Amino acid sequence: MKILVTGGAGFIGSHLCDLLLAKGHEVLCVDNLATGNKKNIVHIENDNFSFIRHNVTKPLYLEEKIDWIFHLASPASPIDYLELPIPTLKVGALGTHNMLGLAKEKNARFLLASTSEVYGDPLVNPQSEEYWGNVNPIGPRGVYDEAKRFAEAITMAYHRYHGVETRIVRIFNTYGPRMRLNDGRVVPNFIGQALNGEDLTVYGDGSQTRSFCYVSDEIEGIYRLMMSDYSDPMNIGNPEEHTVLEFAHFILKLTGKSSKIIFRELPEDDPKQRRPDITKARKILNWEPKVSLEEGIRNTIRYFEGVLDTQM
């Protein structure tokens, strides 16, 4: 099949391109490189792969047939969407609208990469797809949360009104090689600080929880969802829950470093719990994460060690 991946030069997008090519598909990667990086796809020398630098908030005109569209384009880390609030809102609204229009024109199946952030700072734990969330629409994180909530709404509208085949994946914390050291999320923050001999920064008292899904597991779940006939939102993530403080000690153990842990004020609207209910993914997709946290973190540490070596 001919498959379009927006945000394909990003962390998750580039791994998805790898998976699709490995399965024999032809991949058209579209990215404006606002937060993506061509280094993530430079290893792909394949006649079935092509790259277009384009901002999907503007219409994309393609003559060829497109079978599937994976819409992953968006800043995704707090550092990025706090620095790019308007582009984040625009890609969630205009970008999703444009890609849904393309899917309608090409009669293509469309998958929206949504996020666990649609649940905001949740009042239930774990978070199931039926939970409507606890989001501050005018807080600093609202630009990302509400962009994704709107993207889900317009995706369902195109599905119901225009009959477009749509899928919605709610991605929970994902980690692995090709994350940026300055990504701002907990995994690269802690690993980068430890490898550089710096103190590990924990926000709040560290009692807030996160769950961590290795990228190969995440993209396998995303692919299975696209292959399915399920059109409602679905959580894809790891239900194993850890406090941030526990995780900091875990990183120090695996890196063998003796950095101190220091505490800083918790950012506004930072979620205190993040754990997916993956009952639907297990039942409908026969999917659940396979890579243990230790194996995944060791792989990620090796990747960041290589990144730091090239910067020396």
pLDDT of amino acid 312: 64
Annotated catalytic residue within 144, 175, 214, 223:
144
Mean pLDDT of the chain: 96
Q: CB–CB of 189/201 below 8 Å?
A: yes
What distance in Å separates the CA atoms of residue 98 and residue 86, rounded to the nearest whole number?
17
Q: What is the mean pLDDT of residues 93-119?
A: 98
Q: CB–CB of 118/133 below 8 Å?
A: yes
Q: What does the pLDDT look like over 275-303, one tens digit per residue?
A: 999 999 999 999 999 999 999 999 999 99
Going along the chain from its start, the domains and CATH numbers come out as 2-174+214-236 (3.40.50.720), 176-210+240-270+291-311 (3.90.25.10)
Percent of the chain with pLDDT over 70: 100
Q: Is 119 a catalytic residue?
A: no
pLDDT at residue 267 greater than cutoff 90:
no
What distance in Å separates the CA atoms of residue 201 and residue 191, rounded to the nearest whole number?
11
DSSP state of 69: E
What distance in Å separates the CA atoms of residue 93 and residue 146, rounded to the nearest whole number?
9
Q: What does the pLDDT look like over 157-197, one tens digit per residue?
A: 999 999 999 999 999 999 999 999 988 899 999 999 999 99
pTM of the model: 0.96
Q: CB–CB of 171/113 below 8 Å?
A: yes
Q: What is the mean pLDDT of residues 224-236?
A: 98
Distances from the Cα of 105 to the Cα of 64, 151, 158, 230, angstroms: 11, 18, 12, 21
pLDDT of amino acid 148: 98
Q: What does the pLDDT look like over 49-96, one tens digit per residue?
A: 999 999 999 999 999 999 999 999 999 998 999 999 999 999 999 999
